[in-house]
């Protein structure tokens, strides 16, 4: 297995070097695209398990089914607001299928009206995740509750839904441009080669939208400060807005509003690499065998959504979202009948979802946007609907 990983990594390295030799230095976004999504050697194209204890990182849906149950409660309230009829959910980047499974299991047991209304669609690009989803959700698929769409159907505008676009840790995995302010001039970070190795090089931005990105949000970087620009996130927001006839977009991810994301103390940006639950800042090691992510600019998603008629409903921390939907009461109910040891284990596990410092509670945010609905009031946004984002 280790030899196979080395071979894959070396094959990807040779491919990148050959492209640099042919094209010259490449934008970091293209390098990141190849590392994660190269059809043969990319991180998400290998068969190795990526999420969970034996993977590289955790997602909230892997911690405990209660996460999916509470997301289900929010979806149920959305469906009530929208009225009778089919409620369509499109989950993009559904990973191993746990979130879908937990939502449907909860709905079947606790909200049969939602279960009758719901039609659940998954869009997944990673072959390994896609196989696991189809195995895990086989019965729901056979029952006509779960369906799979191709990414091309979304890109080409063939998807038109009334319901909710749902994503959990999707946007952070989009390839990003990296920039640096050098002597008062915004430059893009490219990847080039030296002596058979990879290194950074700074030059003019490859896309005029990169400068516009900061200007549109009145953000000025400090001298020598590096940052990420996620243009793909804005393109994705466009597809969501075009495909949502009426309903909501619910985006769960880690990140900040622009003012905090690009604050002067973030001198090196937020790019991170994950391998076997260890964090690194070096994207040039373990090519194709480590995840590469960056924090989400929620101001960018909100602003682009507003421009396209996808209106801001609210932005809250994951802890406030889950507390608003009753996680504390649910935890108390789950503990009843458990031994003291089992109760402690449960509390420690679930605290990871809402703990502000070491857990996912504060750095993870929940953004909700709406279309074709007047001032929806949602339990997951209790008392925090007026968070300033401009």
Give the model's pLDDT for residue 95. Answer: 87
Q: 293 — phi, psi (to 5°)? A: -140, 170
Q: What is the CA radius of gyration of the chain?
A: 21
Q: What would the two tokens of residue 96 be?
A: 């191993």
Under-50 pLDDT residues of the chain: 1, 52, 55-57, 384-390
Q: Which domain holds residue 44?
A: 1-390
Report yes or no: 255 and 239 within 8 Å, Cβ to Cβ. no
The number of distinct structural domains making up the chain is 1
Report yes or no: 46 and 11 within 8 Å, Cβ to Cβ. no
Model pLDDT for residues 281-310, shown as the tens digit of each residue: 899 999 999 999 999 999 999 999 999 999
CA distance 131 to 33: 22
CA distance from start to end of the chain: 49
What does pTM read for this prediction?
A: 0.90
Give the model's pLDDT for residue 52. Answer: 45
- Within 10 Å of residue 97's Cβ, how many Cβ atoms? 22
CATH number, domain containing residue 225: 3.40.50.12710
Give the model's pLDDT for residue 347. Answer: 67
């Amino acid at each position: 297995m280790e030899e196979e990983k080395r071979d894959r990594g070396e094959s990807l390295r040779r491919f990148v070097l050959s492209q640099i030799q042919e094209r010259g230095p490449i934008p970091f976004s293209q390098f990141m695209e190849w590392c994660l999504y190269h059809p043969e050697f990319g991180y998400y194209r290998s068969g190795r398990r990526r999420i969970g204890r034996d993977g590289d990182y955790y997602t909230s849906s892997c911690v405990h089914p209660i996460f999916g149950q509470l997301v289900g409660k929010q979806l149920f309230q959305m469906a009530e607001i929208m009225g009778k009829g089919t409620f369509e959910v499109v989950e993009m980047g559904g990973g191993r299928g746990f979130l879908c499974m937990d939502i449907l299991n909860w709905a079947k047991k606790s909200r049969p009206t939602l279960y009758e209304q719901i039609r659940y669609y998954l869009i997944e690009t990673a072959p390994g995740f896609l196989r696991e989803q189809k195995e895990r959700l086989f019965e729901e698929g056979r029952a006509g509750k779960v369906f799979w769409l191709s990414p091309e159907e979304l890109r080409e505008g063939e998807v038109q839904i009334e319901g909710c676009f749902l994503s959990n840790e999707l946007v952070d995995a989009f390839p990003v441009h990296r920039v640096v302010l050098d002597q008062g001039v915004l430059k893009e970070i490219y990847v080039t080669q030296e002596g058979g190795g990879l290194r950074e090089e700074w030059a003019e931005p490859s896309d005029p939208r990169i400068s516009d990105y900061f200007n549109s949000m009145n953000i000025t970087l400090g001298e020598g400060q590096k940052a990420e620009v996620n243009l793909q996130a804005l393109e994705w927001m466009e597809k969501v807005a075009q495909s949502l006839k009426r309903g909501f977009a619910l985006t769960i991810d880690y990140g900040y509003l622009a003012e905090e994301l690009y604050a002067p103390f973030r001198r090196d940006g937020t790019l991170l690499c994950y391998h076997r639950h260890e964090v690194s800042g070096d994207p040039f090691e373990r090519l194709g065998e480590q995840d590469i992510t960056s924090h989400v600019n929620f101001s960018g998603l909100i602003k682009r959504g507003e421009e396209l008629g996808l209106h801001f409903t609210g932005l809250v921390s994951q802890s406030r979202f889950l507390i608003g939907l009753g996680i504390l009461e649910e935890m108390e109910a789950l503990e009843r009948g458990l031994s003291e040891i089992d109760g402690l284990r449960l509390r420690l596990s679930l605290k990871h979802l809402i703990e502000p410092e070491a857990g996912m509670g504060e750095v993870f945010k929940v953004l909700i946007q709406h279309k074709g609905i007047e001032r929806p009031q949602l339990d997951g946004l209790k008392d925090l609907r007026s968070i300033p984002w401009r």
